[in-house]
Amino acid sequence: MEIIVLPTARQVGAAAARIIAAVVHTAPDAVLGLATGSSPMEVYRSLRTLVEHGDLDLSRTRGFALDEYVGIPLDHPQSYAAVIAREVVGPLRMNPSLVLVPDGRDRDVARAAERYEAAIRDAGGIDVQLLGIGTNGHIGFNEPTSSFASRTRAKTLTPSTRADNARFFADADDVPTHCLTQGLGTILEARHLVLVAQGSAKAAAVATAVEGPVSSFCPASALQLHPRATVLLDEDAAAGLTLRDYYDHIQRQKDRLAIP
Ligand code: F6R
């Protein structure tokens, strides 16, 4: 796992955007795994700047969202379909028909989940998967005790996740209770995982994921099993790391030797 600590949330976003842009420059029809929530917003902002300056063309790039609430109306502003359309597809000038979100409205959630897995497979798998981390260590909506072998499926949100996400809804009771999420097994198949975290609220979860034991109790610790995982943190999110000096040392050495 590569751990990079940067001074500000904006720099975290810019660094993740550079990784994504490099992949798309090499393969314009690359497949991106897209996260929602607050964490990736600086990434999308940086990508938007590149697109607007003509330095990046995402019009042929495909995308798969990590998750969606079950039962939320498609036109609800907090459905992840609406968030992806508003924050990603529109501003980044992506082709809407190339960007999919799990269908949380299908009454047959198992069928919707299978369709989503098949669509990812048919696209040739995900090249770069952008991830945030929940305060309880979830990635996607794989809540603690999720199987590392899990595929896209319905999950029950924990009370802590519903409380964390209440800020997006008028009333805490409006936060959906269930979701459809890519599984940890699905996420681990992406060729490059890029996790971004900002702010002190994430410090404990980040430390457990990066330096704690690999455990389904902290789903993000699954990144330790991946051959190519990059963790981009601002100072506050990195505050709980005990090997912080070592990670900085590695980055300095890389810069000195110009290792990409
Ligand atoms: C969202 C997602 C979640 C969030 C996580 C952090 O698609 O998959 O894992 O990344 O809950 O949310 P924020 O960034 O809002 O703190």
Split at pLDDT 50, 70, 90, the class of 258 is confident
Q: What pLDDT score does 75 carry?
A: 87
3 or 260, higher pLDDT: 3
> Taking 80 as the threshold, does the pLDDT of residue 221 lie above it?
yes
Question: Would you tell me how many other CB atoms lie within 10 Å of the CB of residue 119?
Answer: 14
Pocket test for ligand 1, best of 80, 138, 162, 218 (most atoms within 8 A of CB): 138
Pairing of strands 178-181, 67-69: antiparallel
In this predicted model, what pLDDT tens digit does every residue of 64-122 receive, in sequence order? 999 999 999 988 999 999 999 999 999 999 999 999 999 999 999 999 999 999 999 99
Residue 30's closest CA among 55, 56, 49, 50? 56
Q: Whose CA is nearest to atom 5 of ligand 1?
A: 134
Nearest atom of ligand 1 to the alpha carbon of 41: 14
What's the mean pLDDT in 220-247?
Answer: 98
Model pTM score: 0.97
- φ, ψ for residue 209 (rounded to 5)? -65, -40
Q: What pLDDT score does 154 carry?
A: 98
Q: Is residue 19 within 8 Å of 194, Cβ to Cβ?
A: yes
- H/E stretch holding 62 reads strand 62-65
The CB of 125 under 6 Å from ligand 1? The reply is no
Q: Whose CA is nearest to atom 15 of ligand 1?
A: 37
Nearest atom of ligand 1 to the alpha carbon of 199: 16
What average pLDDT does the structure give for the chain? 97
The CB of 138 under 6 Å from ligand 1? The reply is yes
Q: How far is CA 135 from CA 178, 197, 253, in A?
A: 18, 10, 31
What's the mean pLDDT in 228-238?
Answer: 98
Q: How far from chain centre, in Å, is Cα 147?
A: 18
What's the mean pLDDT in 184-206?
Answer: 98
d(CA 217, CA 167): 25
What's the mean pLDDT in 47-57?
Answer: 98
How many whole angstroms from 155 Cα to the centroid of ligand 1? 15
Tokens representing residue 80 in the block: 């992840």
Split at pLDDT 50, 70, 90, the class of 131 is very high
